[in-house]
Structure 1
Amino acid sequence: MENKREEEIEALEVLVDFNERLIKNMTIIVKELSGKRLDDTDKFLRSIVDAINWEIQVMNGTMELLNEDKERINKESFNSVIVSLGGAIAEKNDKKMAEEFEKAIHVFEQLGEAAKEVVSK
């Protein structure tokens, strides 16, 4: 049991570093999708989606630890934002994707803060 906890803490430590880059990249993709598209925007978007998926996997695997002594992440509201983002990406509507990424940035900032709080205990 203790080994599982240590592995979860390690995963959250990696997420903390990774999360800062993801948020920075999400901010950049919002600009690109808001009319400043570049030649590699679609490739950049795919890499961001991969990073989002990785963070979601870590979050799902550590949710019990993240919310151990208080609710830091509300899974339902988090998932709602992700579902909306996924819908916008599926539509390939730049304006809608930019709007949904703006919302997603906030939930990933919360995830990063929650992870920092847990690993610093």
Structure 2
Amino acid sequence: MEENRKEQIEALEVLVDFNERLVKNIRILVKELSGERLDDTDNFIKGIVDAMNWEIQVMNGTMDVLNEGKVRIEKEVFNQHIVAVANAIEKKDDAKMAEAFVNVLPCFEQLGEAASQVM
């Protein structure tokens, strides 16, 4: 049990560093989707979605540590925003994607803060 917790804390340490870059990149992506689209914006979206998926996997594997003592992450709210991002990407509508990424951004900021708190 203690070994599992140690592994979860190590995963959260990696997530904290990774999360800072993800949050920064989501902000850049929102600008691109809001009228400053570049040639590589579609590749940028894919990279950000891959990073989001990695963080979600870490979050799912560490929820008991993240929410130890108090609820820091509300998984249902998080999931609703992730589904909205997926739906917007599927529609290939830049305005809807920008809005969905703006709405999911606080979830990832909260995840980074929660991970920092439990370390």
TM-score range, shorter chain: over 0.9
TM-score (norm 2): 0.99
1:36-55 matches, cutoff 5 A: 36-55=36-55
Structure 1 stretches of 4+ with a deviation exceeding 2 A read none
1:1-121 matches, cutoff 5 A: 1-119=1-119
Percent identity, aligned pairs only? 66
Name the CA distance, whole Å, in 2 between partners of 1:96 and 1:48.
16
Deviations 1:11-51 (A, max 9, x none): 00000000000000000000000110001101111000000
Name the CA distance, whole Å, in 2 between partners of 1:86 and 1:64.
26
Unaligned runs of 5+ in 1: none
Number of aligned positions between the proteins? 119
Name the CA distance, whole Å, in 2 between partners of 1:55 and 1:89.
19
